Structure 1
Amino acid sequence: MPHLDRDGVSIFYQVAGSGPAILLSHGYSATSRMWDAQVSALSPEYAVVTWDMRGHGQSDSPDDPSAYSEAHTVADMAAILDALGVESAVIGGLSLGGYMSLAFHLAHPDRVRALMLFDTGPGYRNPAGREAWNRTAEARAVAFETRGLEALGPGAEVRIAAHRSARGLALAARGMLAQFDSRIIESLPSIAVPTLVLVGEKDEPFLGATDYMAAKIPGARKVVIPGAGHAANIDQPEAFNRAVREFLASLP
């Protein structure tokens, strides 16, 4: 299975199918395995690229806390596309993966053919909201440090994940899940590529964020998946895949 060396940090990725490229990024404490049903559904027509973020799954968990950041994550995504010879791709992700997809667009708008934002949010303009989010991220980090991998949550996308390092997940919470400014939320009106904003009907913490992104991103297409929670792609894979295929078919 392919791994990419990023200054001594091994990043796991895989590709299924051929055709226009789609890069899918998983949520915090999940892995690329969460996309299995999407890989099966989309790979007959597309090159579906999935990967494990630093501290997750089959990728390395470096000991240096500074090795975990939004900037490192975006650079890892770009390096995977470079390794595949892909100039631009449909960039998508769920939860943390969706936020990092927005960060990738901010850094590399010319490499984004379209965006797919699943059960995610754009961060906070209000520092108080950001601080509350970061307290939650710190609590996740402490839980992994004190309880190990037993601290993995009950989410559908997490239950199928296999990790090698609780410390890596703790460091990822502090460096990648935590947020430090409002750049991403402020970038929404400048997004000029086709964008799908999708959320599970039962994913209450992200319903408001979905409405906000759909209103702020010009021409965004909003989809709510009935009967789905945070892992909409796992809870209702047929409806999720149908919405994604319809969006992809609409791209110029």
Structure 2
Amino acid sequence: MTRARLNGIEIDYQASGTGPAVLLSHGYSATRRMWDAQHAALGDGHRVISWSMRGHGETESPSDPAQYSADLTVADMRALLGHLGVEHAVIGGLSLGGYVSLAFYLAHPEMVRALVICDSGPGYRSADARAAWNQRAQERAVALETHGLEALGRSREVRESATLHRSAQGLAHAARGMLAQEGSRVIDGLPTIAVPTLIIVGDQDQPFLAPCEYMAKKIPGARLEVIRGAGHSSNLDQPEAFNRVLLDFLRSLPA
């Protein structure tokens, strides 16, 4: 366990291996530990960095709800890379981690060597669809405040992280501030992405198959890989297939 004080909070992270940097961000209510197998698979030839977002795992959970947002998450990613002396990296993540990776590119394109977006979506252009998503995020927050960590979902990455969280209230704040979405800047920005992009989705991840196909069409030159036998946690459900696809993509990148 390694921690750094960045942007006023203690952030828990892991960095291993040597070579070009790869920053991996987890899904909502998971932790950096969901990427342990990728540290092992990629570490020979890559510097793999994973971290836990605000309110998650061993990272600090600020008491102020205003300290949780997608913009602050992007700022934490940039601060962590700066702390580690990384100026240029492959930026990737799963679910919420994929969404904030897209947001990171739109904020700091000069720092992004390539993108890896897994089992994720770009948000909504429709205000009604976004409101429905945000209502579900609010319901998650209320459930956590009412029932504590027992209210966490049942997806694999969440189940395997359930005992690693420190604060149900922190996760509730994260649901309202980070999982909930404002505006359509990410989905609107897809055609402006100008780096190699890999999109991975499990063939059993029904809610995210269409969003991943959409991103593959809208991001110029994007590559879509569907992992057979995988659900929403494609890297955990089928780690060998996931790592094979990811390594192939990383090795294809220009030096």
With the length of structure 1 as denominator, give the TM-score of the two structures. 0.99
* Matched AA of 1:211: E
Distance 1:38 1:23 in 2: 11
Q: 207, 211, 216: which is aligned to 2:218?
A: 216
What is the alpha-carbon distance in structure 2 between the residues aligned to residue 8 and residue 72 of structure 1? Answer: 11
Runs ≥4 residues deviating over 6 A: none
- Tell me, in whole angstroms, the C-alpha distance in 2 between the residues paired with 1:7 and 1:158: 26
What amino acid maps onto 1:168 in structure 2? G
Structure 2 Cα separation of the partners of residues 7 and 246 of structure 1: 35
Counterpart residue identity of residue 52, structure 2: D
Q: Which amino acid aligns with 1:178?
A: A
**Could you tell me which residue of structure 2 aligns to residue 206 of structure 1?**
208
> Which residue number in structure 2 is paired with residue 172 of structure 1?
174
CA shift, 1:7, in A, is 4.0
Corresponding position of 1:85: 85
The amino acid of 2:132's aligned partner reads: A
Structure 2 contact 7–79 (Cα < 8 Å) conserved: no
**1:151 — aligned with what?**
151
Please state if 1:239 is matched with 2:241.
yes
Separation (CA, whole Å) in 1 of partners of 2:80 and 2:2: 10
Deviation at 1:44, TM superposition (A): 1.1
SS in 2 for 1:207: helix
Counterpart-to-counterpart distance in 2, 1:225 and 1:236: 7
Match of 2:196 among 194, 201, 208: 194
Letter of the 1:248 counterpart: L
What does residue 63 of structure 2 align with? 63
Task: For 1:219, give the aligned amino acid.
Answer: G
Displacement of 1:25 in angstroms is: 0.1
Q: Distance in 2 between matches of 1:199 and 1:163?
A: 26
Matched to 1:142, the amino acid is V
Number of aligned residue pairs: give it: 252
- Partner of 1:60, secondary structure, is coil
Give 1:8 shift: 3.0
Deviations along 1:140-195, one digit per CA (max 9) or x if unpaired, are 10110000000111111011111000000000000000001000000000000000
- Deviation (angstroms), 1:9: 1.2
Matched, 1:129 2:137: no
> Aligned AA for 1:155?
S
Q: How does 1:97-112 map to 2 (within 5 A)?
A: 97-112=97-112
Identical aligned residues as a percent: 63
Instruction: Give 1:241 shift.
Output: 0.3
Q: CA deviation at 1:6?
A: 2.7
In structure 1, distance between residues paired with 2:6 and 2:68: 12
* 1:227 corresponding residue in structure 2: 229
Measured in 1, the distance between the counterparts of 2:222 and 2:53 equals 27
Which SS does the other structure have where 1:49 is aligned?
Answer: strand
Tell me how large the CA RMSD over aligned residues is.
0.7
Aligned-partner Cα distance in 1 for 2:159–2:35: 13
Give me the whole-angstrom Cα distance separating, in 2, the residues matched to 1:7 and 1:98: 21
Q: Is 1:33 paired with 2:33?
A: yes
Amino acid across the alignment from 2:127: P
One-letter amino acid matched to 1:198: I
- For structure 2, list consecutive stretches of 5 or more residues without a partner in the other structure: none
